[in-house]
Amino acid sequence: MRPVILRRGLVALFAAAVTFGAITQAQAETLRIGYQKYGTLVLLKAKGTLEKRLAAQGVDVQWTEFPGGPQLLEGLNVGSIDFGVTGETPPVFAQAAGADLLYVAYEPPAPHSEAILVPKDSPIKSVAELKGKKVALNKGSNVHYLLVRALEDAGLKYSDIQTVFLPPADARAAFERGSVDAWVIWDPYQAAAEQQLQARTLRDGQGIVDNHQFYLATKPYAQKNPEVIKTLVEEVRGVGEWSRANPQDVTQQVAPLLGLPADITLTSVKRQGYGALFLTPEVVAAQQKIADSFFQLKLIPKPLSIKDVIWTPPAAVAKAQ
């Protein structure tokens, strides 16, 4: 009986090895991109040029939509996507949670594209008056750091307010009901609240945060597929240049996807940063400051080194930027 059992065991191991090899091969030939409903990747997806270029390299593209940056990076952390874009804060929380990620590129600052909003009839006139108030935000998103910096600038501690962690749709509902006093949010939700609810901007990011968007990849994928990443960054950069020069065309394309009127979408489009630049020491330092701030506030469990998770592009690619 033992030889039969041994043969069966070897067959099972061989089958498992073949299956694992097939899965690995399938993953190596598919670039899985995570995106949100708004931003440059939406335009790249609609354009279709990335698929054409990568097809020549034998690579398919798979797109997965996420409701926010934290959720997108959770997908990256568990291995369901290889690449995505988020605001400044989600990568910090993801790295602190052990995600094996690399910063690939960033978009220029867009400080007006996120803000602390209050209802139109709110008596609150300054950030300092948020002391003791309920403030809604998506935990770990880009606006989390905006809130921290705005409170510091107003002489308040993070503990001086009551944070209410809600995703955008739920936060807007709470904001409309009056169950929170303020809402920290980004575009296009920000522009929609400003125009549809006449929400007042208490403070946006100007002067206190950059509000960069970062393109990130899993470390294994970026290291094994530098040519794919190179092509992807080039395509993102091209779409960004076109978007910056053609806001009306971008609006016509994006508004139906968002389900928002053209005027609201145009406001968001004009406030966004466009491009894909490889990270500079200054950008790395700014991101390190965010990580240090969250550690000091005990919002992440350990100190981080941002410079250790920066993708280094091939020399020829870096020179061409």
Which residue, chain included where needed, has tokens 């410079």? 307
pLDDT of residue 68: 80
Asked if the peptide bond before residue 188 counts as cis, ω within 30 degrees of 0, the response is: yes
| Reduced DSSP (H G I as helix, E B as strand, rest coil) percent helix, strand, coil of the chain, to 5 | 55, 15, 30
pLDDT of residue 23: 37
pLDDT in tens, 63-89: 999 888 888 999 999 999 999 999 999
The residue among 133, 127, 145, 122 whose CA lies nearest residue 300 is: 145
pTM for the model: 0.83
pLDDT of residue 155: 98
pLDDT in tens, 133-158: 999 999 988 999 999 999 999 999 99
Cβ–Cβ < 8 Å for 53, 231:
yes
Domain boundaries, the chain: 2-107+212-320, 111-204
Cβ–Cβ < 8 Å for 38, 188:
yes
* CATH class held by domain 2-107+212-320: alpha beta
pLDDT of residue 69: 83
Name the fold adopted by 111-204: D-Maltodextrin-Binding Protein; domain 2 (3.40.190)
pLDDT of residue 315: 63
- CA gap 321, 316 in Å, rounded: 9
pLDDT of residue 249: 93
- CA gap 217, 228 in Å, rounded: 11
Cβ–Cβ < 8 Å for 268, 38:
yes
2-107+212-320 and 111-204 have identical folds: yes
- CA gap 282, 190 in Å, rounded: 28
pLDDT of residue 2: 38
Residue 222, both tokens = 């970026």
What residue ranges of the chain have pLDDT lower than 70? 1-28, 315-321
